[in-house]
Each structure stands twice: as structure tokens, then as C-alpha cells.
């Protein structure tokens, strides 16, 4: 082989490796119609993922059940959801790890609340008035988990609530507003919307200590360096939301995460601390508490290992 031919071949190989190595990691992330999914929308819209050589496509769903089916079918490589989804999906073979917490309960801002229908606001003044009250909910989800937390906190009687299974969040809201159910546990900003229509807030989650929403990625979809870049993009998005509330409000409206009629009164979510960091990953105590509840409800068959489901150092 001549030196010139060798030089050309070597150069081509170097160029090939350079181009191949710089290809962006591609992710399809499932989202739900919840306010804190704004963090993913912001990271995409502001180019925070792209700046870190990550190509992220957001795929909207209406329920956690649909997300699970999409994960099992291989249509998505990550999700915005909760610990319960992650535990169930891992046990059914969709191996993934929680890489970020987008929201945790906190005293200064409600995330979920039990609200009446507008037609029942005058009759149901407090949780003391609950007696076989029809409640739109979704079993085996964070909704049922929080309802149990509420019942334990308030020491409600077993017959206080009569659950009506409604998987899709938009349908749950519609049934509440039209008086087809008496109450529902909803996330923000749907709580604010319901209140604007005449609903009454009976309880919210501010006194609980629970991880509410997480982002998980399929095992092996990214290497550790890429995962750290993904997390850095989320933190940057959380800081952007905190510092640019007007722009973030506009994005929520554009992505239909916020109804137009409550834009003027909605309290923008705060996803990060003073240092611009998202909440810490779930503690082992939180993880164990959720897993124990799921075992009791037959959602999983065995206790999952913390290290298998939560990103560790």
C-alpha cells in the first residue's frame, strides 16, 4: 500500500470516528398533562438538551397506564411519571432508573388537592362532610397513594370516599366539573382551574413528605456522562423557569399545560431551590415506604432494590 493511499485511508477513518462519536444521543420521553412536565418542555425549547448533544423528543400521553404500555412496546426510552410507575414497569421487565425528581411535597406550595365539584361546594364544606362521597381517581397510581396518605393524616373513616375509577386526567376533570362525581384528587394546575369554576379545596398535600414526580430513563440508554448531561439540562431548565416566569407561563399555555382562563391567577410552579437544583433523589426511607404500600396493594410481588431503580453514585 502506497503512503498516499494509507494516508487517505487513515484520514477517512479518523473523520468517520469523529463524526460517529459526535452523534447526539436520542431519547423519546413520555410526558403527562401535569404542570411540572414543563421542565422537559423548557429544556427542549431553550435548547438545553441540544447544547449537551442530546436529541430529546417529548411524547405526550393522557394517563400513566398508556405510558406503561408504550414503554413495554419500546416506543419510549424514558418518562415523566412517579415512583409507582417505575417500580411496576421494572418488575414487568422494563428496566429503568430514576435520574431526577421534578417535584416533592413542600409546605409553601400545593401540588395535589382533593376538590369538590362546583355543584357540591356548598354541601361539602370540609372533609368532615365526606360520607360515601363519589371520588374520581386512578387506582394503583400516585393518586391512590396520596389518597391513602390523606386518609391516614385526617383519620378518615373507610366509608368517607367511594372511589370511581377514571384513568385519564382530562376525563377525571370533566366529570368533576359537570357534577358526575362529587370530588376528585387532581394535580396543579387543574386544582386552580377547578377552583376558578366554583370547586372547593378540601385538602392538599403540603403536610406530606413524599416524592411526587420523577424522570426515569431506560437502563443503558445513556452512559453515565450523558446521564449527567441530561440531569444538568434539567437543572438549567428548572432555574430558567424560576427566573423567567412570564416566558414559562407562555410555554405552558402553548403546550396546553395550563388552561388560558386561569393564566392570570395561576401561581407558577417552583421546581428548584435557591442554588438552582432540583429536589434530591428519593431517600431509601421514601423508596421503602412506597414499595411497602405497593406490596400491600398487590401491585408488585417482591421488594425492589433501591440501587436497581435509583441512580446512585
Query: pLDDT of 39-48, one tens digit each?
Result: 999 999 999 9
Residues 206, 212: Cα–Cα separation, whole Å: 11
Q: Are 157 and 128 in contact (CB under 8 A)?
A: no
pLDDT digits (tens, 9 = 90+) for 3-43: 444 444 444 444 433 334 457 789 999 998 888 899 999 99
pLDDT digits (tens, 9 = 90+) for 68-89: 889 889 999 999 999 999 999 9
Residue 251 pLDDT class (50, 70, 90 cuts)? very high
Residue 123 pLDDT class (50, 70, 90 cuts)? very high
Q: What average pLDDT does the segment 80-109 reach? A: 93
pLDDT of residue 22: 57
% of the chain with per-residue pLDDT over 70: 93
Q: What average pLDDT does the segment 218-231 reach? A: 94
Residue 272 pLDDT class (50, 70, 90 cuts)? confident
pLDDT of residue 292: 96
Q: Are 62 and 248 in contact (CB under 8 A)?
A: no
pTM: 0.85
| Residues written for the chain | 313
Amino acid at each position: 500500500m502506497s503512503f498516499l493511499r494509507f494516508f487517505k485511508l487513515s484520514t477517512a477513518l479518523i473523520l468517520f470516528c469523529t463524526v460517529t462519536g459526535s452523534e447526539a444521543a436520542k431519547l423519546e420521553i413520555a410526558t403527562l398533562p401535569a404542570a411540572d412536565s414543563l421542565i422537559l418542555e423548557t429544556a427542549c425549547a431553550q435548547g438545553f438538551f441540544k447544547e449537551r448533544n442530546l436529541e430529546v423528543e417529548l411524547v405526550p400521553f393522557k394517563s400513566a397506564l398508556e405510558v406503561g404500555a408504550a414503554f413495554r412496546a419500546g416506543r419510549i426510552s424514558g418518562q415523566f411519571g412517579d415512583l409507582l410507575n417505575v417500580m411496576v414497569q421494572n418488575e414487568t421487565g422494563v428496566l429503568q432508573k430514576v435520574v431526577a425528581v421534578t417535584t416533592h411535597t413542600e409546605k409553601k406550595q400545593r401540588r395535589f388537592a382533593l376538590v369538590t365539584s362546583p355543584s357540591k361546594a356548598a354541601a361539602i364544606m370540609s372533609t368532615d362532610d365526606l360520607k360515601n362521597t363519589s371520588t374520581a381517581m386512578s387506582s394503583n397510581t400516585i393518586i391512590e397513594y396520596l389518597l391513602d396518605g390523606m386518609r391516614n393524616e385526617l383519620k378518615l373513616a373507610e366509608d368517607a370516599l367511594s372511589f370511581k375509577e377514571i384513568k385519564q386526567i382530562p376525563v377525571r376533570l370533566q366529570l368533576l366539573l359537570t357534577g358526575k362525581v362529587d370530588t376528585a384528587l387532581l394535580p396543579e394546575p387543574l386544582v386552580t382551574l377547578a377552583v376558578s369554576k366554583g370547586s372547593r379545596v378540601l385538602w392538599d398535600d403540603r403536610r406530606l413528605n413524599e416524592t411526587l414526580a420523577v424522570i426515569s430513563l431506560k437502563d443503558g440508554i445513556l452512559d453515565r456522562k450523558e446521564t449527567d448531561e441530561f440531569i444538568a439540562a434539567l437543572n438549567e431548565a428548572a432555574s430558567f423557569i424560576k427566573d423567567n416566569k412570564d416566558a414559562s407561563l407562555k410555554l405552558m399555555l402553548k403546550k396546553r399545560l395550563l388552561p388560558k382562563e386561569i393564566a392570570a391567577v395561576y401561581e407558577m410552579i417552583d421546581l428548584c431551590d435557591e442554588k438552582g437544583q432540583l429536589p434530591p433523589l428519593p431517600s431509601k426511607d421514601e423508596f421503602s415506604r412506597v414499595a411497602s404500600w405497593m406490596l400491600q396493594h398487590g401491585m408488585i410481588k417482591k421488594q425492589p432494590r433501591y440501587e436497581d431503580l435509583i441512580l446512585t453514585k
